[in-house]
Amino acid sequence: MSASTGYSAAPPASDLRTFFQQTWAVIVSTQPAPVRDGLRAERSLVNDLLRRSAYRSLVEVGCADGSLLLSATLRNGLSYIGLDLADGAVAATRAALAATRATLAGTSGIALRADVGDLPGLRLPLLPPALVAFPFNVFGNLPDPQRGLTAVATAGADILLLTYDTGPAATEIRSEYYAACGLSGTLTEDESGVHFTAGAFRSSVYHPPVLSGWLRCHGFRVSVARYGAAGLAYHGWCEAPSNR
Residue 171: the pLDDT is 96
pLDDT at res. 221: 97
pLDDT in tens, the chain (244 residues): 333 333 334 444 556 667 677 778 888 889 999 999 999 999 999 999 999 999 999 999 999 999 999 999 999 999 999 999 999 999 999 999 998 876 776 678 999 999 999 999 988 888 999 999 999 999 999 999 999 999 999 999 999 999 999 999 999 999 999 999 999 999 999 999 999 999 878 999 999 999 999 999 999 999 999 999 999 999 999 865 544 5
By the 10 Å C-beta count (0-12 exposed, 13-18 middle, 19+ buried), 110 is classed as middle
Domains of the chain by range and CATH?
2-243 (3.40.50.150)
pTM: predicted TM-score of the whole model, two decimal places: 0.90
Listed residue (193, 197, 195) closest to 234, CA to CA = 193
Instruction: Report how far residue 174's alpha carbon sits from residue 169's, in angstroms, rounded to the nearest whole number.
Output: 9
Residue 106 pLDDT:
67
Specify the 3-state DSSP secondary structure of 151: helix
Alpha-carbon dihedral sign for residues 131, 119, 88, 174: negative
- Backbone φ and ψ of 80, nearest 5°: -125, 135
Predicted pLDDT of residue 8: 38
Instruction: Return the pLDDT at 5.
Output: 31
The dihedral sign for the CA sequence 152, 153, 155, 158: positive
Rounded Cα distance, 76 and 47, in Å? 7
CA dihedral over 238, 225, 86, 75, signed as positive or negative: negative
Cα–Cα distance list, 133 to 101, 159, 160, 165, 210 (Å): 21, 6, 5, 17, 19
Give the model's pLDDT for residue 239: 67
